[in-house]
Amino acid sequence: MKSAQWRLIDSGLLPGIENMAIDEALLACFEPEKSSPLLRIYGWNPPAFSCGRFQKPAEIIALHRCRADGVQVVKRITGGGVIYHGAELTYSLVCPTGFIPGSRSVKDAFFQLTSFLINFYRKLGLQACHAVDHYSGDKKLGERTPLCFAGIESCDILVNGKKIGGNAQRRLKKVIFQHGSIPLSQMAAEANNYLLQPDHGIVERTTCLEGQGVTVGQKQLADLLKCSFAESFNVVFKPDLLTAAEEKSAAGYMQKTE
């Protein structure tokens, strides 16, 4: 089967407001009949909270503490719980719904689109699987929580039985957008300093690459992530930058949130 060509955008480290504006612009500018699918890889500097599109940040986060410490609080275009982003590798992707043929539901597509992460973690020598494949039928999955990493859904990824990172999806007509985080180090304790209701047990229930003995540099991890994605979906990458339309759209979203 011929490999599909995808755009590859490596944004490097950016502030949270810019990261979310770019993600929003990539989705807004995507035309399913014309646009090339894309994978974006990026990081966060300084650390920031991203809240799900249906959340009210003031009900979850001590905003005055964030302002005092220069921690941005931004909204994502996807749902789910609040995430503290710092030492992590983050990805986003945009593709036509037809890229996932035969998926019977959004959840089916989600399982398929997170399969490259299973591949990625296993290449690092880690025992990774979806939560549904780890737990027996007596474990309740899918409970909604204000903090993303506090709950476990069937399609979440576990390493050695602990949740690692988080992923979320948004759909428009004929378009799939997905993004997710790969934590390099454990930042849950730091995040708790800014939560109105800290979850002190989350450090024991979640993990990160450093906690699993992985100390590979961020560039090498990004290269491995690209390789895992290409292998999983039979794609080839064309390194690219934001188009003029995408830059203009991102600038517009940033102005709206200032």
- pLDDT (tens digit per residue) in 55-95: 999 999 999 999 999 999 999 999 988 999 999 999 999 99
* Segment among 31-40, 107-116, 246-255 with least mean pLDDT: 107-116
Q: Tell me, what's the pLDDT at 153?
A: 77
Predicted confidence band of residue 138 (pLDDT cuts 50, 70, 90):
low
Q: Tell me, what's the pLDDT at 148?
A: 55
Into how many domains does the chain fold?
1
Tell me how many degrees the CA angle 204-180-45 measures, rounded to the nearest 5.
Answer: 85
Q: Tell me, what's the pLDDT at 201?
A: 85
CB distance 60 to 137 below 8 Å: no
User: Cα dist. 120→222, 224, 255, 257 in Å?
Assistant: 10, 7, 36, 34
Q: Tell me, what's the pLDDT at 98?
A: 87
Provide the angle, in degrees to the nearest 10, between the axes of the packed helices 244-257 and 16-28.
Answer: 130
Residue 151 confidence (pLDDT) above 90: no
State the maximum Cα–Cα separation within the chain, in Å, rounded to a whole number. 54
CB distance 208 to 183 below 8 Å: yes
Instruction: Name the residue among 84, 51, 18 with its Cα closest to residue 249.
Output: 18
30: domain CATH number is 3.30.930.10
Q: Tell me, what's the pLDDT at 249?
A: 97
* Percent of the chain with pLDDT strictly greater than 90: 70
What value does the mean pLDDT take over residues 143-166? Answer: 76
pTM of the model: 0.92
Q: Choose between 102 and 10: higher pLDDT.
A: 10
Predicted confidence band of residue 244 (pLDDT cuts 50, 70, 90):
very high
Residue 147 confidence (pLDDT) above 70: no
Which of the residues are catalytic? Answer: 148
Q: Quote the domain boundaries for residue 151.
A: 4-257
Residue 136 confidence (pLDDT) above 70: no
Residue 28 confidence (pLDDT) above 70: yes
Strand pairing of 175-183 and 162-164? unpaired
Residue recorded with tokens 């990805």: 91
